Amino acid sequence: MNAPLPVTPVASPGPPLWLLAEVTYRCPLHCAFCYNPVDFARHDSELATEDWLRVLREARAAGSVQCGFSGGEPLMRDDLEILVAEAHRLGFYTNLLTSGVGLDARRAQALREAGLDHIQLSFQDSTRELNDFLSHTRTFDLKQRVAGLIKHNGWPMVMNCVIHRLNIDYVENIIDMAVELGAEYLELANSQYYSWALLNRDQLMPSRAQLERAERIVNECRQRLGDRIRIFFVVPDYYETRPKKCMNGWGEVFLTVTPDGTALPCHTARMLPGLDFPNVRDMDVKSIWYGSEGFSRYRGDAWMKDPCRSCPDKEKDRGGCRCQAWMLAGDPAAADPVCDKSPHHSKVVQVVEQASDPGWKGGAKPLIFRDLRRSRELGALEKSAADG
């Protein structure tokens, strides 16, 4: 374990503009790229309705303005309408991030009446569902029904599809389907490799040829479709040579509250060692944002080491992602190894080269799907490793 670094607070961080309320880890789906923690089963004590209402009020008072209801599948909570109504009353712009499973006409109407501003509908896929989707069967029927509900209620329609080795060759089908369903925006976001996706990295990482072809097709589709739909395409970090400004800066914009009330600067930060993240049951949002060690640790640039400390881009990218630094370099204060200035960049290059090798067999390994039993097993493994 690393010795604690001295905390140099940023003079005056702005407000937590974005509140991500992960209201539950429960989910009817089993996505192999899920970013919920692998040991989510250990964190099954969910905040009560009153706790969430208090969090919403405190966050709004601290300056939060965008509120995302996420999960797991947020529709698994039957008090979602109550939470949305309060968020709306407080002046939040409310977003529901859902797979659509559990959204029927009754709940859609209740959410509309609660003041929900927007639904982001994701295509979830396991391999079987991917087949369903590509053959326009079960999943297509569900999405069509939900897309109809979104349109009927006058919400703007944003569709999101996580892209990876197994579906990247079908981006054109996905785009055509989004257009057919009437989406105004489509996010084709390549999987990033955290949590469950990291377990499945061999199987999910696309080859360079796949990625280049997909980018070309997306550009052709943009030409062909013009203003009918706005398409965003996000490449995997591993294909970059400079890191992203993760979460738009640690503790600068984003506040995630997990189902059990843990407050995080990003939804995967719980994995980082040596950091004690506060819980909304014990601390109010303002104190968490401005006064907790967990939110201050990697704010600004005082914590940086070389090559970041002396890098001209350090304000631009803030050294990249702390979780990626921890996973790939073994040090959360290291440069994100996605950066080609990182001494660990070769690990990223190796993964990309491997995935791009036509003889690569890793892609054919069976996927590890997210489920409760597997989460318990993996959580126990992590715990015994930590105890040992």
Partner 1 sequence: MSRENIAEAAGPLAGACPKVSRRFRLQWEEAQQSWVLLYPEGMVRLNRSAGEILRRCDGTRTLETIVGELEQSFGASDLTADVSAFIDMARQQQWLEARAGRP
Residues lying near partner 1 in the complex (CB under 8 A) are found at 14-15, 17, 62-63, 65-66, 68, 91, 93, 95, 117-118, 120, 154, 156, 158, 185
Nearest distance, CB of residue 156 and partner 1, angstroms: 6
At 11, which amino acid appears?
A
**Nearest CA among 40, 20, 21 for reference residue 29:** 40
Distance of CA 22 to the CA centre of its chain: 11
**Within a 10 A sphere around the Cβ of 211, how many other Cβ atoms?**
23
Residue with tokens 């999405």: 143
Q: How far is the CB of 66 from partner 1 (least distance, A)?
A: 6
d(C-alpha 98, C-alpha 85), whole Å: 17
DSSP letter, residue 361: -
Q: Which residues pair with 67 in a beta bridge?
A: 19, 94
Closer to partner 1 at the Cβ: 287 or 354? 287
Shortest distance (Å) from residue 117 CB to partner 1: 7
Q: Considering the complex, what minimum distance in angstroms separates the CB of residue 230 from partner 1?
A: 10
Which of 227/387 has CB closer to partner 1?
A: 227
Taking the complex as a whole, how short is the minimal distance between the CB of residue 118 and partner 1, in angstroms?
A: 4
Residue number with CB closer to partner 1 (107 or 151): 151
Closest distance of CB 27 from partner 1, Å: 20
Residue with smaller CB distance to partner 1, 150 or 199? 150
Supply the minimum distance, in Å, between the C-beta of residue 75 and partner 1: 18
Q: Which is nearer to partner 1, 90 or 302 (CB)?
A: 90
Could you tell me if 83 and 56 are in contact, meaning their C-beta atoms sit under 8 angstroms apart?
yes
Which of 14/28 has CB closer to partner 1?
Answer: 14
CB of 15 to partner 1, least distance (A): 5
Closest CB 68 distance from partner 1, rounded Å: 7
Q: Which two tokens stand for residue 200?
A: 């499945």
Nearer to partner 1, 290 or 369 (CB): 290
- CB closer to partner 1, 185 vs 360: 185
Beta strands in the chain (DSSP E): 18-22, 66-70, 93-98, 118-123, 157-163, 185-190, 230-234, 254-257, 263-264
What is the distance in angstroms between the CA of the first residue and the CA of the last residue of the chain?
13
Q: Do the beta carbons of residue 255 and residue 64 sit within 8 Å?
A: yes
Is the sign of the CA dihedral 210, 213, 219, 220 positive or negative?
negative
Cβ distance to partner 1 smaller for residue 158 or 263: 158
The span from the CA of 138 to the CA of 132, in Å, is 6
User: Closer to partner 1 at the Cβ: 98 or 342?
Assistant: 98
Helix (H) or strand (E) holding 283: none
Amino acid identity of residue 6, one-letter, is: P
Residues 272 and 331: beta-carbon distance below 8 Å? no
Neighbours of 182 (CB within 10 A): 15
Shortest distance (Å) from residue 187 CB to partner 1: 9
**Cα–Cα distances in Å, from 382 out to 35, 195, 325, 366, 375?**
17, 12, 19, 22, 10
Radius of gyration of the chain (CA): 21
d(CA 352, CA 358): 12
Other Cβ atoms closer than 10 A to 170: 18
